[in-house]
Every structure is written in structure tokens, then in C-alpha cells.
Chains A and B, each alone.
Chain A
Amino acid sequence: MAYSEKVMDHFRNPRNVGEMQDPDGIGKVGNPVCGDIMELYIKVEDNVITDAKFQTLGCGAAIATSSMVTEMVKGKKLEDALTISNSMVAEALGGLPPVKMHCSVLAEEALQSAIADYKKKKGF
């Protein structure tokens, strides 16, 4: 099992890392027993995700996919952000080892959950 250069880059220099003050939506997925927990925060203005940040406990792939998904959603309309799939995140990272694909699923779920949280708060 080896990670791509891109995965290692996002692991070493995670983008958009940290907690967000007053986020419009929060997605929390995973659990300590399985060893991966991802929290994704989004800011939304006029139906567009203007900012995204994350906090993650997990392996290299979990941290890199969190970082990548925050990059991918920024500037996207909500409906477009919802089309981002786990394989798109993995692909953007130059691929993931097969045993690590579940980490990209976590990123997709965190995003879906953050958008759902935003919609719920807005009363959609």
C-alpha cells in the first residue's frame, strides 16, 4: 500500500484545517470505534458555499480526503456540491489504495451531512 504524492501533500499540508466560527452547516461523520471522525464546516451565501473547513481524526487518507473535499466545494452552488462523490475526491487525490476507499466515502458523507444541516437550519 502506498499513497500518491498528492495524498501525501494534502496530509503534510492540509488545506482549510481548523474549526470554523459560526458555520452555516456542520457535518459530523464516523466514530471513534472505527478510528475515523470527520467534522466539516461550511459557510453559505446566496446558495453558494463560500468557505469550508475541517477537523479530522484518522489515517493519512482520512486527513487528505477531508482537505481535498474542502477545496472542491468552495465556490460551488449547493446543488453542484451535492454531486461530488467519493470517487471524485479520490480521483482528485490521484487515487487511493483500495483498502482506503472508505475514507473517501467518509468525506462524501461529511459533505452531504453539512449541506443537510444547513438546509435544516434554513428550514428548507
Chain B
Amino acid sequence: MGRIYIDNNATTAVRPEVAEAVKGLLTGCYGNPSTLYCIGQEAHVEMERARDIMADALGAQREEIIFTSGGTESDNIAVFGTARALRKKGNHIITTKIEHHAVLNPCKALEKEGWQVTYLPVDQYGMVNPSDVERSINDNTVLISIMHANNEVGTIEPIAEIGKIAKAKKITFHTDAVQSFTKIPLNVNEMGIDLLSASAHKIYGPKGVGLLYVRKGTKIMPIMYGGHQERSLRPGTENVPGIVAFGKAVELMLAEREAEEARLLGLREKLWEGIKAKVPHIMLNGHPTLRLSGTLNVIFEYVEGESIILGLDEHGICAASGSACTSDALEPSHVLGAMGVPVEKTHGALRLSLGRENTDADVDKILEVLPKVVENLRSFSPIYKDFLRQQTVS
């Protein structure tokens, strides 16, 4: 049984070209990039080439790219580092209810230290209203942190408009672009972004490497102290193989972007139309059009998400659930909650996120298996039985 991996918003398979690029650095060019002898310098050159690729991808300058261990670290440096640098100026942060926990939890930690945090609401599609951002700004606001695209539902936020507001008010603007980086156009100058987080493993690079873009002149302090690496904002010997792999992954993503985005959109729409035609009592989560091409989040009423995942897994299909019973966190999805989805419905959420390895045949297979899995679970769901009885009565 072939495996169908359709959870690319969680992580992606490292591309062969990327793995190839790393090999030489793991064994041959192992020098510390801070040293002067040849293997150290070679590593340095390779790493700086990757930095140039990142800068080009963002419309930034090379000195503005800080390599980190991934999205979570980048988000933590952005939130805590800005708070630390600007605490004499103010103690208010604006973010949203649908951020990744790598932003939400640092904000909650700061609240315990006396900071004020505004968690902005979103509409039914998961969209933030820029005028809400503007209205929430006060004299103490020092940071606005709003994600570019949401990981659960894929909705793309109006970052350029928010950036304009932040710039006019001279407030540092951070965006978590972990899900969008290299997938959709992103330019830090055109969008008024001061800080930006990205990660390699969401775009077919390895786990354990990411970046934080820091606009020149932005007030920010380290959260870890050590050597001079990465402008002392992220000390520690750089993960050179990871960084070079990240560079290769970005290069490939950008070269293929237009064609790949169109292909993913085609597959996703085929999947959605197919599910709609075959399964009753479902609901699409996320914006109908302003959404990442590969993301499809659907609620199947009267069933529970984890049981759908397990049912799909039996057929070799790897997907994700947005439900309470997923992984080790028993919390219902905070994103769907913020979008106004009643909690009893959020339990039936399924997230399918397509990637470069997914094919038309994969979509056909999912459309064959998924309706059967849902139908089977509904066949012994007590609330589905009650629903059907009500239908016959009325």
C-alpha cells in the first residue's frame, strides 16, 4: 500500500536536491564558519550564499537575516526580544487570537510579567480587520505581531495594510510567515514588515533551521547570550548544513512557485468539489479565495476528527485533525473557535494540506477512501442517529 502524505502544513519531506546539498557540508566542509582556516571559510562562504538567497526572497539586505533553529525560536526572539528592548517605551502588544502558539504563549508569558496584550478577533473566514489593529493601538503599544497565513485554515491576512498602519504609528511590526514564505509573494519593504519568522521544514528543507528577518534599526535584544554569531542576536555556532539546505530549498521553491501554486490549487479544488459531491453535512473552514493553495480544512459533522485520521491512516493516508482529541493537547482548535465555529463542530475538523509530492491519483484515492471512512463513523454516531430521526419527524 503506497503512502499518501497530505499533511504538508505540519512538515514536508526533504527534497532530494536539498539532501544532496547538505551531504558535503556534513562530512567535508565541517569547519566552524567563524574560523579563518580554509574549511571554516568554505563553510562561511556557503552559509553567506544562503543568507543572500533569503535576503533576495524577502527583498531584504543580507545583514538583516538572522538564522535560528526554526519558527518557534524566531517568534520567541521577535516577541521577547522586542519587549525587552522597548519596555521603557511601553508595555502593550497587539496580536490575534489565531496565531501559532509560538507567538501566543510568549505573549501570555509577558502578560504574567505585567504586559498588556490585545488578542484581536477574526471574522468567519479567519481574517483580521486592519481597522481593528488601528483602533487597538495606544501610547504604550510597542509591537504588532500578526501571522501572514494561518497554519490551520490557510487564510492569508492583509499584512501590507497592517504594515502601513504600523509604519505610520512607528510601531514594530512582526509577522509569522512560517506557512507562507516562498509560497506567496512576500516583500518586507512593500509590506512594511520589521520582523519576520520563517522555517525550512515547511518548504522541503530540514527540521531545526529557520530565520528571523530584522529590519535595520529595529530595536530588539537577544533572549540568549553567548558569542557574536548572527549579530549576537542568536549566538551559538550556526547550523551550517541546515542553513545551506534551507537556502537550496528556498531557491527551488522560488523557481517553481507559479507553476506549483497553480497545480496545488487545481488539486485542492478537485478535492473540495469531490468531497462536497460525496459527503453531506460538511463545512469549509478558511477564506474561499484568500487562502494558501494547498490548504483544505473541512468539518465533518457528527463525527470526531481523530477517528477520521485513524480511519484514513488504515488506508495509508496521513492527514491532520483540528479536533480536541489530536496529539497530546486536548484543547479544541483556538483558530476555529476564534472564527465562531461552535465547539461541538470543531471536533469534526480535518486538515488536508497538499504538497509537491501529491498527485492527481492521490486526490482520487482520498476521494475514494474519505467518504467511506466518514460514512462508517456516522453509522454508529449517536448524534447522527438523533439527527436522522429529527429529519424523519419534521
Spell out A's residues near B (CB within 8 Å): 1, 3, 8, 11-12, 14, 17-19, 28, 32-39, 54-63, 97, 99-100
Contacts and interface: CB of A to CB of B under 8 A. Distances in A.
Shortest 7 CB-CB contacts between residues of A and residues of B: A59-B325, A32-B344, A35-B347, A59-B306, A55-B382, A57-B381, A39-B382
A1 B314 CA distance: 17
Interface in B355-394: 380-385
A33 B344 contact: yes
30 contacts: A1-B327, A3-B310, A8-B310, A12-B314, A18-B380, A32-B344, A33-B343, A33-B344, A35-B304, A35-B323, A35-B325, A36-B304, A37-B381, A37-B382, A37-B383, A38-B382, A39-B382, A55-B380, A55-B381, A56-B380, A58-B304, A58-B307, A59-B304, A60-B306, A61-B325, A62-B304, A97-B328, A99-B328, A99-B330, A100-B325
A28 B383 CA distance: 11
Nearest to B344: A32
Interface in B195-238: none
Contact of A35 (B324, B327, B382): B324
Nearest to A36: B304
A18 B384 CA distance: 12
Contacts of A55: 380-382, 385
| Most chain A CB neighbours (cut-off 10 Å) among B305, B306, B383 | B306
Contact of B381 (A56, A97, A99): A56
Contact of B307 (A17, A39, A63, A100): A63
A80 B331 CA distance: 36
Contacts of A38: 382
Nearest to B310: A60
| Most chain B CB neighbours (cut-off 10 Å) among A1, A35, A60, A100 | A35
B246 interface: no
Contacts of A61: 325
B313 to A, nearest CB: 9
Nearest to B327: A1
B385 A32 contact: no
Contacts of A62: 304, 307, 325
A37 B381 CA distance: 8
